[in-house]
Amino acid sequence: MKRKVLSALLIAAMTVATVGCGGGSQPTADADASAETEAPAEDAAADDAEAPTEDTAADGTADAASGDLITVGYAQVGAESDWRTANTESFKSTFTEENGYKLIFDDAQQKQENQIKAIRSFIQQEVDYIVVAPVVETGWETVLEEAKEAGIPVILSDRMMDVSDDTLFEAWVGGNFVKEGETCGDWLAKYLEEQGRGEEEINMVTIQGTIGASAQVGRTEGMANKLAEHSNWKMLEMQSGEFTQAKGQEVMESFLKSYDDIDVVICENDNEAFGAIDAIKAAGKTCGPEGDIIVVSFDSVKAAFESMIAGDLNATFECNPLHGPRVAEIIQKLEAGETVDKIQYVDEAYFDTSMDLESILAERAY
Ligand code: GZL
């Protein structure tokens, strides 16, 4: 709704300043009557035709009742993992009314068509910003064009979109997934060396994430880069566990039926690892630092620390889910008419059983 106020202010400004209406940046929060204030011609033309809405007075100022909240539509992937739950909580605790926002949240249940529907609904509701955690990288150009046409900035969080025109989104904030995969590979090489297995034939399997999701693409690529450095490492098979515990267990069960000499299982998120560990134990095998099979995973959620402390999981590679504050910072900069970096990686570490996990866990925010 805030955008309508801004547009009304802009029209007032443009009426006074009679400036040219070539393409330009979004109206900013402090749009003033100065001649240099610009807005894309279509915005001005579109708003020109519209009377002030019920919650704006004739002079375009929002009345106290409607407040001056920034409305944010958030198209979330789903609720498939502990990481996702922490990510959702980060947004809900950041985009609150006391922080000056109205959050419209949509859980797409891991379906792209639901996310596209949500984005179209946000456009119809004339939100001020659309935030998307795209379930997969492709298939977004059309709906992003619609958002651009409506003059609504889009911010990407978590996973990336593969679009030919990167002006279709303002910024992306998330993990460096290729680096996560490579860090995992380097950790594995060091761990095997320390175990005196640096030259041994090592058989691996991978439980991938949702195929086509940036986290899956990047982690698989990063690990592949490291496989290429170790001719004694053999990737027996890779299958998607959809980033869920149930599917992770199912995939590991099938791997254990197919191969009786698995040395390492790489799980592309912690929840898949929890499922894989259940499958390994049900098959009468052991895992973890003292076990038959090395288990590594990604995310570093609290339950992963508990699994390492229990001796089941060997290591987890962090993917920070707390994107709410980062996205809010981007929005505040855009509101102030500032430019924002297009790509913003979050800081990430890794954790393994050589560390003081109880102390680290006590400090973890997610
Ligand atoms: C990573 C995120 C992935 C997590 C999974 O940024 O996209 O999706 O690794 C989650 O836990 O399902």
Residue 10's pLDDT is 52
Residue nearest to atom 3 of ligand 1 (CA): 215
Q: What tokens does 84 get?
A: 């996702």
φ and ψ at 182, to 5 degrees? Answer: -70, -40
Choose the residue to mutate in 84, 211, 301 for probing ligand 1, maximizing ligand atoms within 8 Å of C-beta.
84
What is the Cα–Cα distance from 150 to 72, expressed in whole angstroms? 15
> Residue 6 phi/psi, 5° resolution?
-60, -40
Cα of 229 vs centre of ligand 1, distance in Å, is: 26
Pairing label, strands 154-157, 171-174:
parallel
Question: Ligand 1: which residues within 6 Å by Cβ?
Answer: 80-81, 83-84, 158-159, 174-175, 213, 215, 243, 269, 298-299, 319
Model pTM above 0.75: yes
- Residue 18: the pLDDT is 33
**Mean pLDDT, each 10-residue run in order, the chain (366 residues):** 51 42 31 35 39 39 57 97 97 98 98 98 98 98 98 97 96 96 98 97 98 98 98 98 98 98 98 98 98 98 98 97 96 97 92 97 91
216 Cα to the center of ligand 1, angstroms: 8
Distances (CA, A) of 282 to 154, 203, 250: 46, 20, 12
What are the tokens at 49? 């035709």
Distance 353 CA to ligand 1 centre (A): 22
